[in-house]
Amino acid sequence: RIHISTPNKYEYQYVKKPTKVTHIQVAIKSHNDAHIALSPTAHDSPEMVEIVLGGRQNSRSWISRGKMGEPVASAPTPGILSWDEFRSFWISWSGGGVQ
């Protein structure tokens, strides 16, 4: 279990992925805009996958290639995040796909 608390700014805290892991579960408490990066390196890169939960004032979520890249998948998710409670999400990757 890893605990990361971040300030309210668009900057990633990189954590090395344990070997043989193909999924993670996260608990998020936020008004909006939870950003998670899956990256082959310990810094922002064009190869990273960016997952945004509760973007656009907590109304939409998406997955994109690279930081601030064009979404490759997007869905309306009104109210997905909460400032009052932690909400859990899982992210899975294998065979080049992310869900």
Mean pLDDT of the chain: 88
Non-local (6+) Cβ contacts of 5 within 8 A are: none
Residue 33 lies in a domain: yes
User: What pLDDT, on the 0 to 100 scale, is given for residue 33?
Assistant: 93
DSSP assignments along the chain, one per residue:
-------SSS-----PPPTT--EEEEEE--SS-EEEEE-SSSS--TT-EEEEEEHHHHTEEEEEESTTPPEEEEEE-TT---SSS-EEEEEEEETTEE-
Residue 52 lies in a domain: yes
User: What pLDDT, on the 0 to 100 scale, is given for residue 61?
Assistant: 98
Residue 99 lies in a domain: no
User: What pLDDT, on the 0 to 100 scale, is given for residue 58?
Assistant: 97
Residue 66 lies in a domain: yes
Residue 1 lies in a domain: no
**Positions of the chain with pLDDT lower than 50, given as ranges:** none
Domain that holds residue 52: 23-93
Residue 89 lies in a domain: yes
Number of domains in the chain: 1
User: What pLDDT, on the 0 to 100 scale, is given for residue 99?
Assistant: 80
The model's pTM is 0.87
Residue 31 lies in a domain: yes
User: What pLDDT, on the 0 to 100 scale, is given for residue 85?
Assistant: 94
